[in-house]
């Protein structure tokens, strides 16, 4: 039963960290407007796909999770 409690606490901390990142994301300059982000604006059409931002966030999260698993 203790393992379930530890798992719930870890899950809660991860969700809280993601919430802080989402909340603070507008304060990070350039995030969402990187050179690899795809933006198409035409009359009647607005398409935005943050490809470079997604890759950057994925790389950072992969590094953080790798560090956490390494020191666990």
Give one word for 48, left, alpha or beta, with left for phi > 0 and alpha for psi -120 to 50: beta
pTM listed for this prediction: 0.61
Name the band, by pLDDT with cuts 50, 70 and 90, for residue 65. confident
SS3 state at 71: coil
Enumerate the domain spans of the chain: 1-28, 31-72
Instruction: Tell me if 46 sits within 8 A of 28, measured CB to CB.
Output: no
Q: What is the pLDDT of residues 53-63, one digit of tens each?
A: 889 889 988 99
User: From CA 69, how far away is CA 14, in angstroms rounded?
Assistant: 14
């Amino acid at each position: 039963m203790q393992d379930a409690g530890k798992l719930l606490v870890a899950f809660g901390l991860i969700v809280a960290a993601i919430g802080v990142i989402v909340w603070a994301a507008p304060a990070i300059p350039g995030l969402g407007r990187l050179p690899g982000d795809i933006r198409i604006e035409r009359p009647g059409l607005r398409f935005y796909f943050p490809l470079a931002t997604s890759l950057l966030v994925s790389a950072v999260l992969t590094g953080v999770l790798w560090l956490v698993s390494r020191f666990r």
